[in-house]
Amino acid sequence: MIRVVIADDHHLIRQGLRDLLEKESDIRIVAEAVDGREAIDAVHRVRTDVIVMDVEMPGINGIEATRRIRASFSEVRVVMLSMHSDPALIRKALDNGARGYVLKKSAGEELVKAIRTVCRGVTYQSRAMDHADYLYEEYPHGTPPRLTPREREILRLIVSGRSNRQIAETMRISIKTVQNHRINLMAKLDTHSLPDLIRAAIKLGLIKMEE
């Protein structure tokens, strides 16, 4: 069962999203929030798998709320809802921890798919957008760096949201070894954050960006 929090400052939109999602047998709405602060409080209060988060809300907006939530609850996936397809906004959302970005005008068709997609560790972009080209920029030095099979597997597990401990248990190696691999991967791929690693994994074909 996928436990979902809906965060939007418009009552009618929240009700519409609830009506849409409650039809799905594998999705359960566990809380609603009218702003970023309530979304943060909800995640502390109830076990959450996915937050459907409006970008523009009063007080703490959706992007800042996403950043704060992901800092404390790395396993929680955020699907951002927005009226805007501005590439700078998309990048800002992903850089702050969102794993999905869906336009409100197509939410009825795509939101369920987006929720299920991010739960599989795959980043989801609304089909209505064609501005995420920055995700596929070439590496600055031409050919992408070569990774060993173990490095590729660890990278795949990192971007799927697994903790160092979970990766260590899965691969039967020490947490220290995982930490060393993470440091080496970031250096080899010239990355400085998890969003950077996600983009690198997409370019290497380890994960895909569903459209």
Q: What is the pLDDT of residue 134?
A: 42
pLDDT digits (tens, 9 = 90+) for 76-94: 999 999 888 777 788 889 8
CA distance 80 to 144: 30
Half-sphere exposure of 127 (CA within 13 A, CB side): 8
- Tens-place pLDDT, residues 131-183: 444 444 444 444 567 788 888 889 888 887 788 999 999 999 999 999 989 88
Q: Give the amino acid at 3.
A: R
Set out the domains of the chain in order of their start, with CATH numbers.
2-135 (3.40.50.2300), 137-210 (1.10.10.10)
pTM, two decimal places = 0.65
Residue 69 makes CB contacts below 8 A (sequence gap 6+) with 39, 40, 43, 51, 76, 78, 97
Concatenated DSSP letters of 154-190:
HHHHHHTT--HHHHHHHHT--HHHHHHHHHHHHHHTT
Higher pLDDT among residues 185 and 196, named by residue: 185
Q: Percentage of residues in the chain with pLDDT exceeding 90? A: 47
pLDDT exceeds 50 at position 123: yes
pLDDT, position 132:
44
User: Does the pLDDT of residue 208 top 60, yes or no?
Assistant: no
H-assigned helices in the chain: 11-21, 36-45, 62-72, 87-95, 107-119, 149-159, 164-171, 175-188, 194-203
- Cβ–Cβ < 8 Å for 62, 55: yes
Question: In the predicted model, what is the mean pLDDT of residues 198-208?
Answer: 70
Residue 192 is predicted with a pLDDT of 76
Distances (CA, A) of 109 to 9, 16, 112: 21, 13, 8
